Structure 1
Amino acid sequence: MTIERSHLAIIREVDRKGSLTAAADTLCLTQSALSHAIKKMEQALGITVWRREGRQLRLTQAGRHLLALGERVLPQLEHAENLMREYAQGQRGILRIGMECHPCYQWLLKVVSPYLAAWPDVDVDVKQKFQFGGLGALLGYEIDLLVTPDPLPRRGLRFEPVFDYEQVLVVGSGHRLAAQGRVSPEQLCEETLITYPVPVERLDIYTHFLLPAGCQPRRHKVIETTDIMLQMVASGRGVAALPAWLVAEYARKVDVRALRLGRSGIAKQIFLGMRESDGDIDYLSAFVERARGTAADAGRPASRRRSRQGACGKAST
């Protein structure tokens, strides 16, 4: 009894597509050929992979185990095959970056441009669909680097600190709080708070500022893009919490002010997460070093002493 790659591919595609017809198209097979392949697979393994419930196919317990195996193994095989293909074509590879930090896209652009110039045989692909779910993508070999303020320790992964910065409150220049150097949680109880579409439990202004003081904003509004968010703030439609370095950049073109959150402020760090097994990939290590060097434009280069502590705790977005 041997589990073959084709077995795992069939199970994964049928589960993804939800029907034999759609899965057959993806696998470049006819539906009858796929049905025959499934029957042959079940006979070879001595198990039943699916049970039919009306028009639906339901995985058996054995089928669910094989699906979980396929979702772990197939991305790694596909990643290795892509790398070998790129090496054969004279390329160094593709560096796939996942984003778990909405405002960090602006910073990332400053890193990517000089990096591409320095590494002409390496392509870069930024995958924003992994926002706030990138850890699984990193473990599943769907990305190679994860930009995150929320490093979670996992065996086989490591997180490199890139830069430190402060989270600040952003208000329009005509706002009643604009003249103050800092704000208290109570002062935001009558405000409309504008945030990215992130769960409240991962928003620092809630977890580190408002909720510990027992406060809530009068209204919570979600906006996806930084530009629109700051235009709303500038027009007096609400306040927002953003990295100080990002506010400093936008303050040149949008009439906003940055205020400290509380007496001490909210200290933050950005990390680049990677697989430990990829530590010897030179173009990946070079990106990390260039990212750390570019941190001067965004904030303070990360302290390694602080980063080792931060990598084992939670740093929300």
Structure 2
Amino acid sequence: MNLHRLDLVSLSLFSLIVRAGSISKGAALANLAVGAASKRISDLEGAVGASLLERHSRGVTRSVAGQALYDHAQRILHDVDRLAADLSDYASGMVGIVRLWANTSAITQFLPSDIASFTEANPGIRIELEEQNSRDIVLALLDGRADLGIFADRTPALGIHLTNYHADRLVLVMPRSHPLAARRSIAFEEALEYDFVSLSKGTSLAERMQMEAEALGRHLKLRIRVRSFDAMLQMVAAGMGVAVLPSLAVHALVRSLNLRQVPLKDAWTERQLLIGMRDPNAVSRHVRLLVDHLCKTQSSRSTSN
């Protein structure tokens, strides 16, 4: 078996033939003559040492070996496309890419302005921002899918180097007609008498609420789970329950929906968002530049407050 004889054109052709279910149709999609396409497939089978396609009267299907090659080919071709995109960035003057994963709280409250000011000062660095829950962000850092992560404190992060980003405060949001709306502050335990609107399972905020309710020996009355802060507020406005949310993230929409937010007295509602990376000594220069910028914005906001 000589896998070094595999080439990208043949892998791409093989993938097209598998998807089309026909050598002639795959050849047409690859702009190749049928004879040339057949020769490439024969060469592939010779390199692999096994039959890749099962011929039938209606076309072809992949063999067991063909299925394995097809799966690997998809990953290889995807990586090549990603490489081409990255090299295109460098050719156009891009000097670096930072893969940043962040939770909803960070993206909603702080990152838009922080990233905008960073890219203005560093136009050659592209930020690829992905919104995920805190637990998945840590996993992405550990397995190398993300260069930087921003997530809530109290998220298990063994093996991750942590730096403070911004603090946020959780509040209880409700309609103005709600029995708790006149309060200046409230303990989370008091709110457990009512139905709750929550984020999806697995998010740090949803898990924290569940854990705090259980610590009080109480049951969280979940009425509905949704995927965004905006959806939570819409459900609260519709009378589906109360919600625990970061104050700054929802301030404008709370006012526009004529809702009320009341501070929670519990210590856990004062949260710290963290910047995480696997090894600060091994990150690229452009990642370090972004970390330094995010830390400076955190300091400037703290001073202004």
The one-letter amino acid paired with 1:102 is T
String of CA shifts for 1:139-198, please: whole Å, max 9, x gaps: 8877654444456557xx76654234344432234321231623344642431x2233x2
The one-letter amino acid paired with 2:242 is V
SS at 1:241 equivalent: strand
Q: Which runs of 5+ in 2 are unaligned?
A: none
Q: Please give the residue correspondences for 1:12-161 in structure 2 after superposition, counting only pairs within 5 Å.
A: 19-20=20-21, 24=26, 28=30, 37-48=40-51, 60=64, 64=68, 67=71, 71=75, 79-99=82-102, 101-106=103-108, 107-128=110-131, 144-149=147-152, 150=155, 160-161=163-164
Structure number with bigger Rg: 2
Is the Cα–Cα contact under 8 Å of residues 98 and 146 in structure 1 kept in the other structure?
Answer: yes
The one-letter amino acid paired with 1:44 is A
Is the Cα–Cα contact under 8 Å of residues 76 and 140 in structure 1 kept in the other structure?
Answer: no
Q: 1:69 to 1:170 in 2, by over 3 A?
A: farther
Is the Cα–Cα contact under 8 Å of residues 104 and 133 in structure 2 kept in the other structure?
Answer: yes
Is the Cα–Cα contact under 8 Å of residues 169 and 240 in structure 1 kept in the other structure?
Answer: yes
Is the Cα–Cα contact under 8 Å of residues 208 and 266 in structure 1 kept in the other structure?
Answer: no
Q: CA deviation at 1:122?
A: 2.6
The one-letter amino acid paired with 2:187 is V
RMSD of Structure 2 on Structure 1 (CA)? 4.8
Q: 1:142 to 1:200 in 2, by over 3 A?
A: closer
- Counterpart for residue 249 of structure 2: 246
Q: 1:186 to 1:277 in 2, by over 3 A?
A: closer
Q: CA deviation at 1:227?
A: 3.5
Task: State yes or no: 1:165 paired with 2:172.
Answer: no
Is the Cα–Cα contact under 8 Å of residues 164 and 299 in structure 1 kept in the other structure?
Answer: no
Q: 1:273 to 1:60 in 2, by over 3 A?
A: farther
- Counterpart for residue 273 of structure 2: 270
Distance 1:62 1:113 in 2: 47
Q: CA deviation at 1:116?
A: 1.7
Q: 1:38 to 1:247 in 2, by over 3 A?
A: same
Is the Cα–Cα contact under 8 Å of residues 91 and 121 in structure 1 kept in the other structure?
Answer: yes
String of CA shifts for 1:207-250, please: whole Å, max 9, x gaps: 3223443403151242x443453344356442112224324565
Q: Please give the residue correspondences for 1:206-245 in structure 2 after superposition, counting only pairs within 5 Å.
A: 206-212=209-215, 213-217=217-221, 219-222=223-226, 224-234=227-237, 236-245=239-248
* TM-score, structure 1 as length reference: 0.65
Distance 2:281 2:125 in 1: 15
SS at 2:194 equivalent: coil
1:182 equivalent among 182, 186, 198? 186
Is the Cα–Cα contact under 8 Å of residues 175 and 236 in structure 1 kept in the other structure?
Answer: no
Distance 1:83 1:11 in 2: 24
SS at 2:211 equivalent: helix
Distance 1:279 1:255 in 2: 47
Deviation larger for 114-123 or 262-271: 262-271
Distance 1:56 1:297 in 2: 64
- Counterpart for residue 314 of structure 1: none
Distance 2:53 2:167 in 1: 51
The one-letter amino acid paired with 2:89 is E
Q: 1:148 to 1:91 in 2, by over 3 A?
A: same
Distance 1:75 1:237 in 2: 44
Distance 2:280 2:39 in 1: 39
Task: State yes or no: 1:199 paired with 2:201.
Answer: yes
Q: Which runs of 5+ in 1 are unaligned?
A: 301-317
Is the Cα–Cα contact under 8 Å of residues 147 and 273 in structure 1 kept in the other structure?
Answer: yes
Is the Cα–Cα contact under 8 Å of residues 161 and 277 in structure 2 kept in the other structure?
Answer: yes
* TM-score, structure 2 as length reference: 0.67
SS at 1:265 equivalent: helix
Distance 1:299 1:242 in 2: 21
Is the Cα–Cα contact under 8 Å of residues 198 and 222 in structure 2 kept in the other structure?
Answer: no
SS at 1:103 equivalent: helix
Pick 1 or 2: higher relative contact order, CA cutoff 8 A, min separation 6. 1
Is the Cα–Cα contact under 8 Å of residues 21 and 61 in structure 2 kept in the other structure?
Answer: no
